[in-house]
């Protein structure tokens, strides 16, 4: 084989004599003249042309020579291609005469041989000279003749300068002479190419517009820095040929574009080599002229301009540039111009990058570990090891960056080197640390006594051996089994030992020093993420992935591999992970998980404005990886070929298995190569982990220089590549679920891998201040960790993953969301394992809105919802929630809860009543917080509900007791001889949400006799058991809570007294034994249950007792003394009691004491003061009886309502104090009234 390198020049036939004379002058002798007849062969369907192979038989006199020319290249008239020759006797070719090794892969030799036919001929006379050059010569020939194809023919008149062991520069110099002397022009079409054109077997067509190029993907040592020029020249020269052979506007535009690119590339290089600046200026001159001609569509002017000598000489000069490999100085300048990182390393380590024979000197990828091991052996402490690791990493990566930018490495070679260096740095750092930790803490050993290793599981690109240039490393640490180290005095548990060892390794690699770091070590992929232990045993890993592994972790584990482990060592890990990652069945659920993951990435890139992120943006590297991983997870369990760490191998398997069309696979891999190469360039700029195209013009210029094309072309290339990828991605993955988009960027907050910085940014974009954002984020993160610990299965976790972002979407619209977030989260913590309630909130926006509204309004309501999740059912229909019953409808409401329950099922009935109380109380609260119910009405509803509940409980207790013991003589359910007498807030119709019930049980029955049942008991015993049963039903606590707390201390003799008091005894006690404070309590008392006769009797008794004449001075002193005792008691328990709404001077309690005093003092004279038991109407009666003026009474009523309103709101917020002073005016009015009636003492 010989490699033909020749320069072809075209001349006008009229210049023949001038050409011959000049050739003879240059050679100094006469030519050798020969007549050559050449026949060119191919199959009818041009299979040889398809392989870019030329086949001819050349006849000179009676000798025939068979020649094959294989694929080559043409650069501005310089033709270079392999050529094979052999003698032949026949007129038709015999391909078998050539060695089989010359043919391309899968070349159908026999088929082509059988179909060969002559297509055209080139017959010409050749004049040949030899010009001395270097160690050989330049063969100078002048050919004149014809290309003949059937009846058509075209004249040949051309000069060829073939380098035969000589110097190409001599050939170029000679060409310049011919171009200057006889107007020769560079010719890019060979005689064979012209023959195909003449025969109509090919067409000289303009190339596609040069919008962008991927030539930087190819290896071009050692002339990689000129590849932008070469690409531009190829486009320019092709269209120059088109302009000469078949002038057109398209050809003109192609010349203008090629010149533009060429000028741009040469000008960029001019900053490295000033000798190129004049050439760049000349190119820019012609680029401007051709651009103007193209704008005017002046094809004729372009044809004329291309004939200019200087134009032709520029083509030759550019071609000459490409034939001169750049020296080390220029290569170094080129790399440093692009990469600040390499420049920084070379400044610190002048021999950090080595050149040899025009190439960067690279070690074999298998030698990194040995080199590092030898150097680490010299380190005495961790500081020295840290320094060494950083310097070695910088040197290795600067060398790789230089080689990559100079196009010495293919992408796969680069990935191999990057992975090998990372593996070496991790392995050798760990190997250096391990014996030192064993010396310090003892050696952890297996059951058989061998030292136990720390395993480092490489994840992501590290695991897949596809690391990028400035990648962080995702790792998981694990160890074989539990145990303890063999330290004699202080053995450590294996978990502690390996945790410390892992921390030490992370410190060696990730600690930022003055020399930077080795790698950013990301440990978030470990079980339980950031909240999980740093290391785990193999059995703990297995347990975690079997029980709690999530879909995204399946994707992550596709690439998991043990760093530095051989196939045998990898086996246990793969056996552990395989059932989790690869299902035995075809698992299409993996598509939904991937779609969700991609939607989250899209949300983040959209939020960050990452339009030009070549990894995470639509159509980025991540989508190419997702496509492969989706098929791996869906079908990998059945098709083992897909169980691979390598993206390349996965795609190869997809094509082989017919899961993706080979064309689609190739297109995706081509896109992957382009995006990964650009990713490396972006990171090599300054050794930064970025996949974002820069917006800074200086950075764009450096990327443009590395990719050998103008910046707009880079953007077009990226955009087109990502569009292609995204189209394939959508065909495989499909459209995202609309539900995945509904919560926007807040979905990111529920992802384990989200950075704190990102989460806080998402929150602060919602106009939340930084401290509050931090508080909210901590709350969400703790909830997320708790959900993982208290697993409710995949369905529950998925529901929570949807619910939390949806709630945050609405919560973040609040003016101050942080407190409400904590309250809502409190509810979620209680219901997270009850998937039905979580799904209820997911599917019902109205329910979510009501939950937020109630939590925002009240801490007490939040506690109720958290404690009794069944209340969430009431949030489904907001209209129903706010549909409040009439006061008299509560008994009927309770009947609805009980109507379907059998009477004998007391426990079910009581649970129904508890649920009814909570639901109806929630309705009252909802109306309350919405502003639709004044405070007095709230108390009325709560009081009427309590009365209805008491009636139901008494009847249930009566029924249960009479079923067993029968009824007392003359009594039945309609006349039980039993009444409930209410004191305090219920008696005064001022009940609040959390009030207990102050009750006294009264009977007017005769205690003589027994009940009439199967098991009769004494009547007194019957009523005692009835009271006990009532109290039990009220206070028994179940999962649904209790009904009410009941306080019986106001009965005669207090806790020492009987639970049920006879009416006569009660009257006697009030008359003879009651303390003044008990009579005060009677002011706010009323009968709320019982037969009308007994109720009326109790009312009369109350009036009679309140209307007794009392000594004014004694009464006044006793009321004041009781108030002082109460205040002292409160102060002893809470020194700040003065700030309590109720207990403050001039507060609610003072006003209540004042009202009670006035009733006890003046009821004898004004019996109407006993008509009501609530303070407001008693004050109105005081005014009506002249004790106050109307204005004074209204002042006190306003004060009381204001105090109650504050107390009510504080109760809703679970607080007991008020810190503001807006009640001061009201308290002054109370204090003034106190002084009028009770003197200056106390109030």
In a domain, 208, yes or no: no
For residue 870, is pLDDT > 90?
no
**Nearest CA to 730 among 555, 556, 595?**
595
Helix (H, G, I), strand (E, B) or coil at 1020: helix
Domain that holds residue 267: 215-306+318-326
Helix locations, 1063-1189, DSSP H: 1063-1072, 1076-1083, 1092-1106, 1112-1133, 1148-1162, 1175-1184
Q: Is 71 left (phi over 0), alpha (psi -120 to 50) or beta?
A: beta
Q: Are 718 and 700 in contact (CB under 8 A)?
A: no
In a domain, 210, yes or no: no
Q: Which residues, listed in sequence order, are joined to residue 75 by a DSSP beta bridge?
A: 78
For residue 874, is pLDDT > 90?
no
Long-range contacts of 348-354 (CB under 8 A, 24+ apart): 348/394, 349/391, 349/394, 349/395, 349/398, 352/394, 352/395, 352/398, 352/399, 353/395, 353/398, 353/399, 353/402, 354/399
In a domain, 967, yes or no: yes
Do 191 and 276 lie in a common domain?
no
In a domain, 559, yes or no: yes
Percent of the chain past pLDDT 70, that is, above it, reads: 93
Three-state secondary structure readout of 429-460: HHHHHHHHHHHHHCCEECCCCCECCCEEEECH
Do 1098 and 1114 lie in a common domain?
no
Mean pLDDT of the region 945-974 = 93
Do 763 and 727 lie in a common domain?
no
For residue 878, is pLDDT > 80?
no
Q: How far apart are CA 827 and CA 861, in angstroms?
A: 10
Do 909 and 1050 lie in a common domain?
yes
Q: Which residues, listed in sequence order, are joined to residue 120 by a DSSP beta bridge?
A: 40
Residue 813's CATH number: 1.20.120.1510
Do 42 and 67 lie in a common domain?
yes
Do 515 and 651 lie in a common domain?
no
Summarize pLDDT for 57-89 with one digit per residue, the tens: 999 988 999 999 887 666 655 767 788 999 999
Q: Of 689, 723, 741, which marks where a domain is finished?
A: 741
Mean pLDDT of the region 230-259 = 92
Helix locations, 966-1091, DSSP H: 984-987, 1019-1035, 1063-1072, 1076-1083
Report the pLDDT value the prediction gives residue 376, as an integer from 0 to 100: 95
In a domain, 205, yes or no: no
Q: Are 1238 and 1116 in contact (CB under 8 A)?
A: yes
**Nearest CA to 630 among 598, 657, 663?**
598
In a domain, 125, yes or no: yes
396 falls in which pLDDT band (50, 70, 90)?
A: very high
Does the CA dihedral 410-412-414-420 come out positive or negative? negative
For residue 306 the two structure tokens come to 């291309």
Q: Of 843, 874, 905, which marks where a domain is finished?
A: 874
Do 541 and 422 lie in a common domain?
yes
For residue 509, is pLDDT > 70?
yes
* Residue in this structure with the two tokens 């531009």, named with its chain if needed: 232
Do 946 and 1037 lie in a common domain?
yes
Summarize pLDDT for 182-226 with one digit per residue, the tens: 999 998 888 998 999 999 998 888 888 888 888 888 877 666 788
Do 297 and 392 lie in a common domain?
no
For residue 505 the two structure tokens come to 């390794």
Which comes out higher in pLDDT, residue 677 or 1202? 677
Angle between helix axes 835-843 and 845-857 (nearest 10 degrees) is 100
Residue 383's CATH number: 3.30.460.10
Running DSSP on this structure, what letter comes out for residue 755?
-
Mean pLDDT of the region 1194-1202 = 89
Q: How far apart are CA 696 and CA 940, in angstroms?
A: 70
For residue 1125, is pLDDT > 60?
yes
Helix (H, G, I), strand (E, B) or coil at 119: strand
Q: Of 1055, 1081, 1106, which marks where a domain is finished?
A: 1106
pTM for the model stands at 0.72
In a domain, 1054, yes or no: yes
For residue 1218, is pLDDT > 50?
no
Helix (H) or strand (E) holding 59: strand 54-60
- Number of domains into which the chain is organized: 7
In a domain, 609, yes or no: yes
1227 falls in which pLDDT band (50, 70, 90)?
A: confident
Residue 56's CATH number: 2.40.320.10
Helix locations, 609-696, DSSP H: 621-635, 647-656, 662-684
Summarize pLDDT for 126-167 with one digit per residue, the tens: 999 999 998 899 999 999 999 999 999 999 999 999 988 888
Do 864 and 913 lie in a common domain?
no
Report the pLDDT value the prediction gives residue 1145, as an integer from 0 to 100: 85
Summarize pLDDT for 962-984 with one digit per residue, the tens: 999 999 999 999 999 999 999 99
Do 14 and 116 lie in a common domain?
yes
Q: Are 1016 and 966 in contact (CB under 8 A)?
A: yes
Do 1160 and 1102 lie in a common domain?
no
């Amino acid at each position: 084989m010989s490699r033909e390198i020749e320069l072809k020049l075209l001349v006008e036939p009229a210049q023949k004599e001038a050409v011959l004379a000049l050739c003879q002058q240059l050679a100094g002798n006469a030519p050798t003249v020969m007549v050559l007849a050449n026949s060119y062969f191919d199959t009818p369907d041009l299979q040889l042309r398809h392989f870019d192979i030329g086949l001819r038989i050349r006849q000179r006199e009676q000798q025939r020579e068979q020649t094959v020319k294989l694929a080559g290249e043409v650069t501005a008239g310089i033709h270079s291609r392999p050529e094979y020759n052999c003698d032949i006797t026949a007129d038709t070719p015999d391909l078998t005469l050539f060695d089989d090794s010359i043919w391309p892969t899968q070349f159908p030799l026999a088929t082509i041989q059988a179909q060969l036919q002559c297509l055209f001929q080139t017959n010409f006379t050749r004049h040949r000279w030899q010009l001395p050059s270097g160690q050989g010569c330049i063969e100078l020939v002048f050919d004149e003749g014809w290309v003949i194809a059937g009846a058509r023919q075209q004249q040949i008149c051309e000069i060829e300068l073939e380098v035969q062991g000589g110097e190409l520069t001599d050939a170029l110099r000679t060409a310049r002479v011919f171009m200057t002397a006889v107007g020769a022009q560079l010719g890019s079409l060979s005689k064979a190419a012209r023959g195909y054109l003449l025969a109509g077997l090919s067409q000289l067509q303009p190339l596609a517009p040069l919008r962008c190029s991927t030539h930087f993907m190819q290896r071009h040592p050692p002339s990689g820095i000129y590849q932008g020029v070469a690409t531009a020249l190829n486009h320019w020269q092709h269209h120059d040929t088109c302009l000469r052979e078949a002038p057109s506007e398209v050809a003109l535009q192609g010349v203008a574009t090629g010149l533009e690119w060429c000028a741009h590339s040469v000008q960029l290089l001019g900053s490295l080599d000033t000798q190129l600046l004049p050439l760049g200026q000349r190119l820019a001159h012609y680029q401007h002229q051709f651009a103007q001609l193209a704008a005017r569509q002046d094809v004729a002017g372009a044809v004329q301009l291309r004939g200019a000598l200087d134009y032709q000489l520029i083509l030759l000069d550019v071609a000459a540039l490409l034939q001169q490999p750049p020296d080390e100085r220029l290569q170094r300048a080129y790399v440093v111009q692009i990469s600040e990182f390499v420049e920084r390393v070379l400044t610190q380590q002048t021999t950090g990058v080595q050149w040899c024979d025009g190439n960067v000197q690279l070690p074999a990828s298998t030698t990194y570990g040995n080199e590092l091991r030898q150097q680490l052996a010299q380190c005495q402490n961790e500081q020295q090891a840290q320094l060494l690791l950083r310097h070695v990493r910088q040197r290795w990566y600067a060398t790789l960056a230089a080689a990559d930018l100079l196009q010495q490495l293919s992408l796969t070679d680069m990935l191999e080197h990057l992975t090998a260096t990372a593996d070496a740095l991790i392995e050798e750092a760990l190997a250096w640390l391990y014996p030192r930790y064993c010396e310090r803490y003892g050696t952890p050993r297996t059951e058989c006594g061998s030292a136990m290793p720390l395993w480092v599981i490489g994840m992501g690109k590290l695991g897949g051996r596809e690391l990028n240039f400035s990648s962080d490393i995702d790792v998981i640490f694990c160890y074989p089994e539990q145990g303890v180290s063999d330290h004699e005095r202080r053995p450590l548990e294996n978990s502690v030992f390996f945790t410390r060892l892992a921390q030490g390794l992370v410190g060696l690699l990730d600690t930022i020093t003055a020399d930077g770091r080795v790698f950013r070590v990301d440990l978030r992929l470990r079980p339980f993420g950031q909240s999980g232990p740093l290391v785990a045993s193999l059995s703990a890993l297995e347990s975690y992935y079997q029980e709690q592994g999530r879909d995204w972790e399946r994707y992550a584990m596709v690439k998991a591999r043990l760093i530095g482990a051989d196939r045998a060592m990898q086996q246990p890990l793969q056996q552990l992970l395989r059932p989790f990652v690869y299902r035995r069945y075809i698992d299409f659920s993996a598509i939904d998980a991937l779609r969700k993951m991609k939607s989250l990435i899209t949300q983040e890139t959209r939020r960050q404005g990452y339009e030009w992120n070549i990894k995470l943006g639509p159509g980025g590297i991540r989508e190419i990886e997702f496509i492969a991983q989706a098929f791996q997870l869906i079908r990998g369990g059945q098709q083992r070929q897909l169980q691979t760490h390598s993206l390349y191998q996965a795609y190869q398997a997809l094509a082989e298995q017919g899961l993706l069309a080979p064309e689609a696979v190739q297109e995706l891999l081509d896109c992957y190569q382009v995006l990964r190469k650009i990713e490396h360039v972006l990171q090599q700029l300054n050794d930064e982990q970025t996949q974002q195209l820069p917006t800074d013009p200086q950075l764009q210029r450096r990327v443009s220089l590395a990719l050998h094309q103008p910046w707009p072309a880079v953007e077009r290339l990226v955009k087109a590549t990502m569009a292609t990828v995204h189209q394939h991605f959508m065909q495989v993955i499909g459209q995202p679920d609309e539900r995945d988009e509904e919560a926007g960027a807040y979905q990111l907050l529920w992802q384990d891998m989200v950075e704190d910085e990102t989460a806080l940014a998402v929150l602060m974009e919602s106009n939340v201040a930084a401290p509050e954002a931090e508080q909210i984020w901590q709350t969400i993160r703790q909830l997320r960790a708790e959900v993982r610990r208290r697993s409710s299965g995949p369905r529950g976790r998925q529901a929570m993953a949807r619910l939390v972002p949806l709630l945050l979407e609405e919560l973040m619209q609040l003016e101050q969301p942080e407190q409400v977030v904590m309250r809502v989260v409190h509810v979620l913590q209680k219901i997270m394992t009850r998937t039905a309630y979580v799904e209820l909130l997911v599917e019902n926006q109205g329910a979510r809105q009501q939950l937020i509204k109630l939590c925002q309004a009240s801490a007490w309501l939040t506690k109720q919802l958290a404690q009794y999740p069944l209340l969430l059912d009431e949030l489904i229909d907001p209209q129903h929630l706010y549909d409040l019953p009439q006061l008299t409808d509560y008994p009927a409401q309770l009947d609805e809860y009980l109507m379907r329950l059998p009477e004998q099922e007391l426990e079910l009935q009581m649970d129904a009543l508890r649920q009814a109380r909570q639901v109806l109380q929630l309705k009252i609260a909802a109306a309350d917080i919405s502003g639709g119910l004044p405070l007095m009405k709230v108390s009325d509803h709560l009081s009427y509900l309590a009365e209805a509940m008491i009636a139901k409980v008494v009847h249930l207790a009566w029924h249960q007791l009479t079923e067993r013991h029968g009824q007392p003589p003359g009594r039945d359910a309609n006349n039980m001889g039993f009444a409930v007498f209410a004191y305090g807030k219920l008696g005064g119709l001022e009940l609040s949400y959390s009030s207990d019930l102050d009750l006294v049980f009264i009977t007017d029955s005769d205690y003589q006799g027994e009940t009439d049942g199967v098991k009769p008991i004494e009547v007194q015993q019957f009523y005692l058991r009835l009271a006990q049963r009532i109290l039990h039903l009220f206070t028994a606590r179940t999962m649904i809570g209790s009904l009410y707390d009941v306080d019986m201390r106001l009965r005669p003799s207090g806790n020492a007294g009987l639970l049920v008091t006879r009416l006569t005894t009660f009257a006697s006690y009030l008359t003879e034994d009651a303390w003044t404070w008990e009579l005060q309590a009677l002011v706010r008392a009323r009968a709320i249950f019982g037969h009308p006769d007994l109720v009326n009797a109790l009312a009369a008794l109350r009036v009679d007792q309140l209307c007794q004449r009392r000594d004014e001075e004694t009464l006044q002193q006793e009321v004041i003394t009781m108030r002082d005792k109460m205040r002292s008691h409160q102060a002893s328990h809470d020194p700040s009691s003065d700030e309590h709404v109720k207990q403050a001077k001039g507060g609610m309690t003072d006003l209540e004491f004042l009202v009670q005093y006035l009733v006890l003092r003046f009821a004898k004279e004004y019996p109407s003061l006993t008509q009501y038991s609530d303070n407001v109407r008693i004050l109105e009666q005081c005014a009506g009886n002249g004790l106050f003026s109307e204005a004074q009474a209204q002042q006190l009523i306003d004060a009381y309502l204001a105090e109650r309103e504050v107390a009510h709101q504080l109760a809703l917020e679970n607080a007991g104090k008020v810190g503001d002073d807006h009640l001061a005016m009201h308290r002054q009015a109370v204090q003034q009234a106190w002084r009028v009636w009770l003197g200056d003492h106390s109030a």
